[in-house]
Structures are given as structure tokens and as C-alpha cells.
Amino acid sequence: MKRVYVIGAGMTKFGRHPDKTGRDLIIEAALETVDSVDRGIDLQKDVEASWIGYFTPELYEHQGQYGPITSDCLGLVPKPAWRTEIACASSSAAILTGFFAVRSGVFDLVLVGGIEKMTTLSTEGVTDALSIAADNIFELPAGITFPGIFALIAQAYFKKYNVTWEDLQAIPIKSHHNGTLNPKAQYQSEVLELGNKFGKKKGISFKDPMDFLKSPLNPTVAYPLRLFDCCPITDGASFLLFASGDVAKKYTDTPIEMAGVGNGTETLSLHDRPEMTSSRATIYASKMAYKMAGVRPKVIDCAEVHDCFSINEVIQIEDLGLVPRGEGIKAAKEGRTSLDGDIPINMDGGLKSKGHPVGATGAGMFCEIWKQLRGEAGKRQIPDAEIGMISNVGGSAASAGVFILRR
């Protein structure tokens, strides 16, 4: 079995790109990925296959076959390509496919990534498109969409661990702070700064982020979750280049090893699960990744985890074993998950501040860990980061992709 290394990573700015099609985003992200390779790469000549995650091109762009489209717009025809989908973890599935393909020895150098072009639809249209990640037979007919699903999860968590919505606000405050250090983030402003921007129109100013977060300017989306507990609607694309051991050395002196990978599933409907404040998908995927990498949670230097809603960052770091059960919020409040904490989480601003172009999100997290392990994360660099983790989930964590990267 061959070892698999990451030799390049790139992404578009995450945000609203009304002037760009999905194909434009793919080309932009792929070109940055090509440019990131230390000793250069000839995309058309060297890359043998590509896989792309895209959750719902059918609804956003009335378009299928994004595999051949990617192949076509990057000049890779007639090489292999297809699309992978597990909702918000769609690019994790592309990453896993590329990993299997290189590890199996069938290919030595592949391009993997993801994309989502969401702002073609209205907020209502996006809410409907996202809702198909939930159960169309048992959940959606009850009138629930994702803010409602995560609101139920948040309420279950608050009750179980005796914490409050006010406690949870440590998460978006941290995420927006980290976002200020990331030029690729959709929002590059502190919570307080955004609050005062919102307040200005109404002649209101805030001195403390909590004053804004508790104000009607941060409205309830689905009780207890408010606007700043929810990630935004985003366009974006992101890619990675994977190479087998022998080949990786040709392109870089600092290949980053794919030390462990994992994937898992959970029931699609919340009501079928043994536990609402945990996902067996993430637990299974992380156990698989830890086992393959031969490491335990305590060696992880930093992690990117899936905070589609603030409560999910908390559940993620608990499911991954990075903090004890019920202590995810406490860890954030104590600064343990901040950039200067002992287990920094979502250094790039997370989905909340960096944005969440669904199909591109997993690969986008990957870009951050790749930069961190190469010491190229600029103002948000974690000193001496050697082992990083990515955890990307689909829907209400009915699916999960977990990766451990090692310098």
C-alpha cells in the first residue's frame, strides 16, 4: 500500500461571487493549487485523475456531471473524473476517493476538491436545497430545516450539560476573531465590529459583543439559535494535490502526509439516533483515522472542525475526543480552543466566519491544516504545528470525513 502525501492546496476567496459560474471558481481554485506546488507542476501533463465534491449542482446550476466538467475546464480530458456527494462533506468524499486511488497504486498524482455555487438561489431557495441533506420522508414533512434541526440539538445539549446560549457565544466570538486574520474568509470582522455596523443604521452602538449578540439585531433563527450561531451562504471552490511517496519528492521537500483517514455514517433522521448530542458518523470516522495514523487525540496540535452552527463545533470537538464530553463550550470560554490555546480550533475562522460553500468546505479546511503544518498560515500560525486534524460532516452529521495530516 503506497503512502499518500499532499503536495499542493489552493482555494478561491470564500464569499459571494455573483460574477462567476461554478466553472470559473473551479479554474481559480485549481490554478492557485498548481501555484502552491513548491517545484511547480504541469497540471495537464502530470495530474492523472480528479474528483470533485459538489452537494447540489442540480438545484444551484441545473447541472450534473461536474466530474467531466472539471476535467474539461482544467484541460484534463480524457482522464478519469467524477463527482462525490455526502451533503456538506462532499469534498471529504472526493478526498477519500483520491486517497484510495493513490494508496491502491492505480494512480500516483491526483487532484481532489470541492465546490458550491450557492448564491444563484435566494435564501429560501438555498434553505430548500440544503434541506435535502435531511430526511425527506421523516423530517422535512414536519416543516423542519437545518437551523431547526441544530436548534433541537442545541436544546438537547444545553439540557444535558446544564449550559446556556450565553455560554455558547464563545464560539462565534472566537470564529469571527480568527476570521479577521484570514484574507480568504467571507467575514473578516470581529463580532463587535459587525454588530456596530448593523447598529449604525439604527443609531445604536455596542461596547461588548454580548450586548449585540443578545440584541434584536442578532435575531433568533430557530430558538435558541440566533443569526450569529449560523454560518453564511457562500460561493467557493478548493483543491488539493495528492501524490504517492516516490512521486511527492519530485515536487516538494515538505510533503504533508495523509497519516489517517476516516469516514462514517449516522441515521439521516435525528429521531432514529441513540443520542442527539453526538454523531456515530464522526466517532467512527475519527476512530478509523486515529487507528490508521497510530496516534491518540492528545497529539493533535490543531484542528478544523465543522461549525455549520455554533453548537456543532462543540459537539465535534467532543466526538473527536479533543476535549472531554460536555466540556466543549468550557474549552472555548477558557481560551483552550483559541489560537494561543492548547488545542486551537478553526484557526481560519471556521464555517461561521470563513464561509460554508458546502461542497468546498472539507477541502477548504484541508487547505488551512496544510498551511499550518508547513508554517505558512501567517498571522494565525500555530507555532510548531506538526499534526493537524480535519473533521467535516454532512447534514446533521449523518456523514463524516475525518483526516489526520502529519508534517
Q: Which residues here bind its own copies, judged by CB under 8 A?
A: 1, 21, 23, 49, 55-59, 61-69, 71-72, 76-87, 89-90, 93, 96-97, 99-101, 103-106, 129, 132-133, 135-137, 140, 261-268, 272, 280-281, 283-285, 288, 394-395, 398-399
Cα distance between residue 185 and residue 206, in whole Å: 24
Q: Do 113 and 73 contact (CB within 8 A), yes or no?
A: no
Would you say 214 or 273 has its CB closer to its own copies?
273
Q: Do 320 and 326 contact (CB within 8 A), yes or no?
A: no
User: Could you check whether the bond before residue 78 is cis, i.e. omega within 30 degrees of 0?
Assistant: yes
Cα distance between residue 191 and residue 141, in whole Å: 35
Least separation, in Å, of the C-beta of 250 and its own copies?
Answer: 21
CB-CB neighbours of 141 under 10 Å: 9
Q: Which residues pair with 176 in a beta bridge?
A: none
**Cα angle 56-113-110, degrees, rounded to a multiple of 5:** 135
Least separation, in Å, of the C-beta of 302 and its own copies?
Answer: 25
Least separation, in Å, of the C-beta of 348 and its own copies?
Answer: 24
Of 83, 11, 99, which is closest to residue 285 (Cα–Cα)?
A: 99
Q: Could you tell me the CA-to-CA distances from 389 to 154, 207, 248, 280, 368 in Å, in that order? A: 24, 35, 21, 18, 10
Would you say 339 or 400 has its CB closer to its own copies?
400
Q: Do 389 and 304 contact (CB within 8 A), yes or no?
A: yes
Would you say 132 or 156 has its CB closer to its own copies?
132
Least separation, in Å, of the C-beta of 367 and its own copies?
Answer: 21
Would you say 81 or 323 has its CB closer to its own copies?
81
Least separation, in Å, of the C-beta of 265 and its own copies?
Answer: 4
How is 219-281 classified by DSSP, letter by letter? -EEETTEEGGGB----EEEEEEEEEEHHHHHHH-SS-EEEEEEEEEE--SSGGG-S-SS--HH
Helix or strand (DSSP H, E) at 403: strand 399-406
Would you say 89 or 154 has its CB closer to its own copies?
89
Number of residues in the chain: 407
> How many Å is the Cα radius of gyration of the chain?
20
Give per-residue burial for 20-49: e unless 16+ CB within 10 Å, then b.
Answer: bebbbbbbbbbebbbebbeeebebeebbbb
Cα distance between residue 309 and residue 130, in whole Å: 14
Would you say 60 or 212 has its CB closer to its own copies?
60
Q: Which amino acid is at 378?
A: G
Would you say 137 or 340 has its CB closer to its own copies?
137
Q: Is 88 one of the annotated active-site residues of the chain?
A: yes
Cα distance between residue 220 and residue 302, in whole Å: 31
Least separation, in Å, of the C-beta of 281 and its own copies?
Answer: 6
Least separation, in Å, of the C-beta of 351 and its own copies?
Answer: 18
Catalytic residue among 17, 230, 356, 367: 356
Would you say 79 or 406 has its CB closer to its own copies?
79
Cell, residue 328: 466543549
Least separation, in Å, of the C-beta of 208 and its own copies?
Answer: 40
| Residues involved in catalysis | 88, 356
